[in-house]
Amino acid sequence: MSVFPFTEHDGLCECAEKAEFDAMMSSGGFSNIPSSIPNIKSIKDVKYLGIVKDGENLKAHYYIGASWFIKDKCAFVVKPKVEVDYIKLFMTALELNSENEAAYFSNYYYIDFEKPAIKTNALDNVITPLLILHYISLLRHLVSKGLKKGYVVREENLQSKIRGRILLQRHLTKDVFAKREDRVFCRFQEFTEDIPENRILKKALSFSVRFINQLPSFKSHLQELTPHLSMFGSAFENVSEDVTIAQVAKVNAGKIFRHYEAAIKVAKLILRHFDYSIDKASGETQEVRPFCIDMPRLYEMYVLSLLRKAYGDQIKFQVKGYRKTKVDYIKVSDVEKLIIDAKYKPRYSEGNQGILNDIQEISRYARDEKILKALSWNPEAESAKGNYFPKCLIIYPDPNTRFKRETGDSEEEPDESKMEEIKNGFQKDGILSDTTHIRKIPGFKDFYKIAVPLPTV
């Protein structure tokens, strides 16, 4: 089996399979691969991790993961440009307090359990931490509301009491003929937390804890996770883990347990990921199920978490405009009204090449009446101040954690205190556009950009 490694938004990496790759290119072996990415409605529809033809070569997009090109024979792997600390990235992105946003995260990754695993260690446990941290986030919201109870049917040989209906045949066999006159075998309903839905959640939690304890990468983050894991232990104290594969497949959250829906979905993914075997919940693996992570959308959630830490409810997410448009974020306060869009385009750290399309897109948001209404934009009052449209900001990742001046060729030296300030939540004074790290985009009024780097190892 051949595995061809790519770097996101780049071509094939140097690898032992380079000659085989070149031979397939020459013979038309990659003829099924399109020259551009078709319109994608769901991440499940992404084929070949978004890899497309680029002249005489192939080029990856901003999806990372692993995918079969020819089942059991040839696979693609796409890795990020920088050594991302995925656990820190996922933990930050999933710190959001809103249950809707934690559930929304499900749209940004996909695991294909219908296809065999790909033998590769190139991705070093990317998808498993994502699954587990997503699950912990959903479970935190669920447990804060309290576990749901339901009626379950039990059969039990009761002592000195009767509940429900006596099972006469079993009572005769186990009690009367055995001369156990103080016992009655009964079938009855009990209102309890020990329902199949909660059992599945607890079973997946056990797998998650086992993995967390065995993966070295989690050790530095255990202190942050411990309070959540302790809270879960108390919440599920009276719930059993005794659940069969058939029950897992059968259980759905249903209308009564609507807020359980996302948590049960991810719990099932975890159980399938480990093939329902606690022995496989290990931190070491040499193979991975085909999966895909939408890095631009993940970055969007990461930035949202940082913005919310700094500015709280002033930040609105996925604000709808006309004709099904949506802007990533807006900032609404008495002192500042700002339209913000996250673009997963590291090239903006080197300059503004290709930025015009993004400026045009964000300019439309700044003129959309529904978005302006959400922004509490008062045209008359703002015009009197000389503000005809809201300020617009592009947020992008900086792979080098450096800042370049907009004029001249000189480069500023990295400043660790600056980087920590940006990573940990911008400025805390409530005025984002006054942050010293923001750069004006030359030639465009009230258009700015700021680098927010991904956490790195």
- 52: helix, strand or coil: strand
pLDDT score of 33: 87
Q: Which of 251-260, 325-334, 347-356, 439-448 has the lowest mean pLDDT?
A: 251-260
**In the predicted model, what is the mean pLDDT of residues 101-117?**
82
- Residue 403 has a pLDDT of 38
Burial 394-403 (b: 16+ CB within 10 A, else e): bbbbbbebbb
Q: Give residue 63's Cα distance to chain centre.
A: 13
Residue 12: the pLDDT is 86
The tokens describing 346, both together, are 């590291």
Do residues 296 and 118 lie in contact, with contact meaning Cβ atoms separated by under 8 Å? no
Q: Which of 279, 285, 305 is nearest to 127 (CA)?
A: 285
Distance CA 342, CA 362 (A): 11
More confident residue, 426 or 247: 247
Domains of the chain: 1-79 (no CATH), 83-149+193-287 (no CATH), 150-192 (no CATH), 296-451 (3.40.1350)
CA–centroid distance for 340 within its chain: 21
Give the tens place of pLDDT for each residue, 406-426.
Answer: 433 344 444 444 445 544 446
Residue 62: how many other CB atoms lie within 10 Å? 22
Which pLDDT value is given to residue 408?
Answer: 38
Q: Which residues pair with 319 in a beta bridge?
A: 327
Say yes or no to pLDDT of 441 above 70: yes
Cα distances from 274 to residues 211, 266, 281, 331, in angstroms, run 10, 13, 6, 42
pTM: 0.81
Least confident interval from 167-176, 357-366, 399-408, 439-448:
399-408
Write down the pLDDT at residue 342.
Answer: 94
> Rounded to 5 degrees, what are φ and ψ at 248?
-60, -45
Q: Which residue has the tokens 């990461």?
A: 302
Q: What percent of the chain has pLDDT over 90?
A: 18
74 contacts: CB under 8 Å, gap ≥ 6: 1, 2, 4, 24, 68
Query: Does the pLDDT at position 98 exceed 80?
Result: no
* Band of residue 281 on the pLDDT scale cut at 50, 70, 90: low
Residue 80, CA atoms < 13 Å, CB-side half-sphere: 26
Query: 136 Cβ partners below 8 Å, 6+ apart?
Result: 94, 208, 225, 228, 229
Q: Is the pLDDT of residue 429 over 60?
A: no
Q: How far apart are the first and last CA of the chain?
A: 30
Determine the distance from the C-alpha atom of residue 52 to the mean position of all C-alpha atoms in its chain, rounded to a whole number: 24
* The pLDDT value given to residue 157: 92
Instruction: Indicate whether 102 pLDDT > 80.
Output: no
271-278: list long-range contacts, CB under 8 Å, 24+ apart.
271/200, 271/203, 271/204, 271/207, 272/113, 273/111, 273/113, 273/127, 273/128, 273/131, 274/207, 274/211, 276/245, 276/248, 278/206, 278/207, 278/210
pLDDT value of residue 373: 92
Q: Read off the pLDDT of each residue in 78-92 and give the average, rounded to a whole number.
A: 84
Tens of pLDDT along 208-236?
988 888 877 787 777 788 888 888 988 99
In angstroms, the CA 51 to CA 14 distance is 17
What is the structure's pLDDT at 96?
A: 75
| Banded pLDDT at 120 (limits 50, 70, 90) | confident
Per-residue confidence at 66, pLDDT binned at 50, 70, 90? very high
Given this model, what pLDDT does residue 257 score?
A: 66
pLDDT of residue 283: 55
Q: What is the pLDDT of residues 16-57, one digit of tens each?
A: 788 888 888 888 888 888 888 877 778 888 888 989 888 888
Mean pLDDT over each residue of the chain, to the nearest integer: 82
